[in-house]
Structure 1
């Protein structure tokens, strides 16, 4: 009995031991599995960047063994969305990545930023996955463009709502950072499901003719009846291989032996599953040929790679030898032989307009050819690719963006390239080598801090506008050292200290249009003499005592003034204002105008009469009509404004009459009337091209003075051809300031007021916002400039409808026909390059977002260049005519070089 109990006890003990061992074993296995997972999470494939777009957490994908990250570290715009369960589907190769996505409802350009470990020392395979899945319940896939860096690579469009779409790009980077951007083209909201980047050995896929996109990789010889994909971990580069059973008149062959892919010269490292199968010609055939499957590959040109591995055991003396023939002899390879179980990859470093290949056995071959796999890529031609902006300019503008805390949606990736995606506020030049920033307009951008030194590195910069921000510190000396700077506007900031002498000198000699505002903290003297002495204690006591006395006196004066003003308001009427210019009584006005004899103009205020002063000086007398509703308000505003502004390109006020209900303003007389009259088709004296450019220059000078020379700045609000007057020498002056307004403070970027102006010249943005600023005048100036160029009015009257000048000119500009743009009454007597330059200036003035328009100082410099082009051409034209007249009777003809220059300009 005791023995039995002892035996039972022993058995129970063994059960406990076995149980403990089992528990320990399971714990060890579990620990081993966890260690394996942790290893994969930490030691993911070097260089792989795998982004599950729209995911909320990082994870290891069970199906692929790839570690995916959410995209929060790669982009800070966009919205996460999930595909509804009813629209999801399981896929062994793309499972978890297609149940969510990131869309971009805001902004035209949204970009991912990737910084691979290898930097620009590697090429990269970039893979894109799109699954719409009706996530937004619109049941319609969008259309949008995809860019890698500065280059367009693909347009996503016209897909079924439940189709998973994949494409890839082989990218050769020019920097250590790679940008992938999605561009809203106005046909739906861009989105992306997954984005993957894989480093490639630089020896792979050699090409020097463009960029490779949208690959198709065919794994041949598979006996499976269903379509399958092969990717990582089978493919070390995570390429996507599509099983394709056979080409026409071919049969599959396979081998399960180990194929050496590591220790050979083939760096392509195709998956073993791909190399172990192949095709060869069917019985009775000695060649392999491609099929129409290649017609489905997008791209105007094609790039192809062939992959071989001998998987058949050849008997003694037997030989397999073949050649590759593409497009009926446009390319023929050397004789190709294979070593048993050793891969060979052949990528043709050239492109083909179409792609048909035949692999033929040579006459000396005992066996037919084989083919294990091939790849076909579409090609983006070299001429469609852009070179990025000058790296020094990029570094500078990125530093400026950071230092000044600029947060604009479109300030992403390259600042200048492509041209249609140039950052707002920038203008760039373009050349075959690189693009550089020539204009930077950051006016009214709420900038703070000091002017950054990085601006010094923008060596091509011609125009810099930092006006109406909160910039502090001194005006830096390096601004005067920018070699190409032509216009600088620092008005409306909190700058202090002295202005560098070199800037003052450049402004005085005319090489720089410099606006800085009349700030009490800025000093023109060298050195600045504004240093304040520290007051002594005795002085402080005296000042306090004096201040008390002054305060008492001020209180007494204030009380007296209050009584005086109250009584004054009781006596005053709206006519009681005084101006400093000579005052005339009404009888003198009647005498000056010879009893109001000659009417030379008329407006909302009343009529304008020709007058002659006692010294025989001719004047224009603007007489306020008693029936005018708004006339008095405009009359008063104009009189007050013209007392404080004086410029050679603004009409001068000679005197005024303020006698009861009789009110008049007397101006200098402009002998040639207004610009509208001179551009009219009824005018027989047609303005020549040089006169038109000079008139534009004069008007720009006047407007630039109002914007940047007056403190506070003044906006005209009604700039048009009828308000630009011409003197006896056809020089222009701006008139009619009845609607003009000054900014309340110099730091204001706009004013809110009732809409005013003339139909056809009104800034579209101000019409919707009600805010008026200097850029509204710039828009009006652009319309005036188009009128000067075309000879057409801002609004062209028609029988059925009226046409705005911009609607008429846009299509012609796009066609590149400068002869149809310029006023036909000039009979072609203008320089083509000058005309195109004028059109470009006018176009720069009229973008709908006001922030994209230049400052008038920049417009002024551009017009000077335009006029210089015409003047220089006129001199060379005259010299050529004189040379012909002295050497032969052959009439002057344009030189072939000059003709080519004009053709090039026209093409631009």
Structure 2
């Protein structure tokens, strides 16, 4: 039996009461309860033109993630893959990321209707045919940052559209052979002379068109979108480097705006230990790979001695900052598991989603960044290396990385393998569990690695003492055991004893699901044999947002 009301209940408290039916010896049983409340949205609805276009995209490709309700409103629950601007009377969509969604078929014309679109990412799909002319023109004029790499059967050139148009306008000419026999010799001669003249004109016109098409293609190739900015444009984006986000070995990172999109601008210091080779490596890699758990490269600048990388802005900084002891807002156990899972998914993509595979070589908590919604993304790919062949089990390299995260086996052999990542990620997991430094000094002023400290605590069987005390025991002990055992397996001294990143992702998914179920678990208690007092809802209490 299902009971429901189509009318809203007024007041701040709503109480429900069930009684058992006559002749029953047991109290009533409640299988489920759903409660909704009305929310007054302060923002206007998204521009109707943008809504129509994005709904067409959703229908065309069958996108089913969180694309429900209004695309841009409320502002905290914007659809995945969208960025919106709220400066006008109605929100508009300025950025659309449809990368790595297995999209097929041609690029739809209705994307051209989204005139407010500044960034369109279509990389890593299976799109075919040509790009709509309007999108190409906007891209060439700098009004649209268009990314279409990773679609081998998609032609990103105006010449493709020209060829298609020519095919559409070719009119087959059929000449009846039988009619030639009834034409007198004089008429035949005139006709043949006229035909030769017309063919000559067509050939000359065709040569002119081919030349024009070739010049257009060459111009497009020279202006091919590389997401490369001039140094003057970098100065505009950063307001003359007015706001510093941080400093590191690479150089200084500044806050900026590309149109109305927030970006982080990293400049290469002349004294940088990372250097020009690492700058080139990071640009080439990030222009090639795309994943929701890898930071996105918006663009770069390479002009004289000025080398700059422009990334998407990560509002919540790095994971190390949120695990430090002086951070007032403590990441919950569920939040930590989510960050660990998302970072692991980024690494797993580098290992198995890229052909050939990629090894990061500097996995650590400062290189795991968190966006405004605390989604984790790997960053800093300057030290990354690509395996030359898929069959290669390792490559020999000079040792690179951060002390404490380096695989001891790698230090001895200099063999770079995918399990090198796994060791570093195991150290990250131990940091997430304990919030302790990777290398610390004990009472005797000796340096001790975090994995050795955790191992000594496990020998005493005191698992709760390992966890960050600021969690105040708000976690499932079995979940803590499982993640700790996974982390210790990752930091095994012998690489053959470590799991691969696919196994790590699977284990973390199970732990995360268990913790989510625990934190969302409800409880009720019977008041008597005759009735159950079900619920009193305070409508001023913050609850999860409604599905959109």
Q: Please report the TM-score for the alignment, with normalisation by the length of structure 1.
A: 0.33
- Structure 2 residue corresponding to 1:758, chosen from 370, 382, 402: 402
- Structure 2 residue corresponding to 1:675, chosen from 287, 308, 319: 319
CA distance in 2, matches of 1:742, 1:640: 11
Query: Are the counterparts in 2 of residues 605 and 632 from structure 1 also a CA contact under 8 Å?
Result: no
CA distance in 2, matches of 1:879, 1:735: 42
Q: Which residue of 2 aligns with 1:654?
A: 298
Q: Which residue of 2 aligns with 1:722?
A: 366
Query: Cα 1:759–1:578, aligned 2, differ >3 Å: closer, same or farther?
Result: farther
CA distance in 1, matches of 2:434, 2:262: 32
CA distance in 1, matches of 2:461, 2:223: 55
Structure 2, unpaired ranges of 5+: 1-101, 103-221, 536-548
Query: Cα 1:666–1:832, aligned 2, differ >3 Å: closer, same or farther?
Result: same
SS of residue paired to 2:464: helix
- Structure 2 residue corresponding to 1:587, chosen from 209, 232, 240: 232
Query: Are the counterparts in 1 of residues 439 and 449 from structure 2 also a CA contact under 8 Å?
Result: yes
1:801 aligns with 2:438: no
Query: Cα 1:613–1:797, aligned 2, differ >3 Å: closer, same or farther?
Result: farther
- Aligned length, in residue pairs: 311
- Structure 1 residue corresponding to 2:466, chosen from 806, 813, 821: 821
CA distance in 1, matches of 2:395, 2:261: 39
Query: Are the counterparts in 1 of residues 451 and 488 from structure 2 also a CA contact under 8 Å?
Result: no
1:840 aligns with 2:485: yes
CA distance in 2, matches of 1:881, 1:772: 57
**Which of structures 1 and 2 has the larger relative contact order (alpha carbons within 8 angstroms, sep 6+)?**
2
Q: Which residue of 2 aligns with 1:698?
A: 342
Map 1:500-511 → 2, pairs under 5 A: none
CA-CA distance at 1:603 after TM superposition: 2.2
Q: Which residue of 2 aligns with 1:738?
A: 382
> 1:290-343: per-residue Cα shift (whole Å, max 9, x none)?
xxxxxxxxxxxxxxxxxxxxxxxxxxxxxxxxxxxxxxxxxxxxxxxxxxxxxx
Query: Cα 1:745–1:578, aligned 2, differ >3 Å: closer, same or farther?
Result: farther
Which structure has the bigger radius of gyration?
1
CA-CA distance at 1:588 after TM superposition: 1.4
SS of residue paired to 1:692: helix
Query: Are the counterparts in 2 of residues 579 and 640 from structure 1 also a CA contact under 8 Å?
Result: no
> 1:491-517: per-residue Cα shift (whole Å, max 9, x none)?
xxxxxxxxxxxxxxxxx9xxxxxxxxx
SS of residue paired to 1:873: helix
SS of residue paired to 1:655: strand
Query: Are the counterparts in 1 of residues 343 and 378 from structure 2 also a CA contact under 8 Å?
Result: yes
Query: Cα 1:720–1:629, aligned 2, differ >3 Å: closer, same or farther?
Result: closer
Q: Which residue of 2 aligns with 1:856?
A: 501
Which structure has more helix as a fraction of its residues? 2
Query: Are the counterparts in 2 of residues 645 and 710 from structure 1 also a CA contact under 8 Å?
Result: yes
CA distance in 2, matches of 1:640, 1:619: 19
CA distance in 2, matches of 1:824, 1:866: 20
Query: Cα 1:882–1:792, aligned 2, differ >3 Å: closer, same or farther?
Result: farther
Which structure has more strand as a fraction of its residues? 1
Structure 1, unpaired ranges of 5+: 1-507, 509-576, 890-908
Q: Please report the TM-score for the alignment, with normalisation by the length of structure 2.
A: 0.54
> 1:169-226: per-residue Cα shift (whole Å, max 9, x none)?
xxxxxxxxxxxxxxxxxxxxxxxxxxxxxxxxxxxxxxxxxxxxxxxxxxxxxxxxxx
CA distance in 1, matches of 2:368, 2:526: 37
Query: Cα 1:845–1:586, aligned 2, differ >3 Å: closer, same or farther?
Result: same
Map 1:134-153 → 2, pairs under 5 A: none
Query: Are the counterparts in 1 of residues 274 and 382 from structure 2 also a CA contact under 8 Å?
Result: no
CA distance in 2, matches of 1:863, 1:581: 37
> 1:230-285: per-residue Cα shift (whole Å, max 9, x none)?
xxxxxxxxxxxxxxxxxxxxxxxxxxxxxxxxxxxxxxxxxxxxxxxxxxxxxxxx
> 1:11-51: per-residue Cα shift (whole Å, max 9, x none)?
xxxxxxxxxxxxxxxxxxxxxxxxxxxxxxxxxxxxxxxxx
CA-CA distance at 1:580 after TM superposition: 4.8
CA distance in 1, matches of 2:224, 2:441: 42
Q: Which residue of 1 aligns with 2:510?
A: 865
Query: Cα 1:579–1:743, aligned 2, differ >3 Å: closer, same or farther?
Result: farther
CA-CA distance at 1:880 after TM superposition: 5.4
Q: Which residue of 2 aligns with 1:710?
A: 354
Q: Which residue of 1 aligns with 2:435?
A: 791
- Structure 1 residue corresponding to 2:424, chosen from 780, 783, 788: 780
Q: Which residue of 2 aligns with 1:618?
A: 262
CA distance in 2, matches of 1:696, 1:765: 24
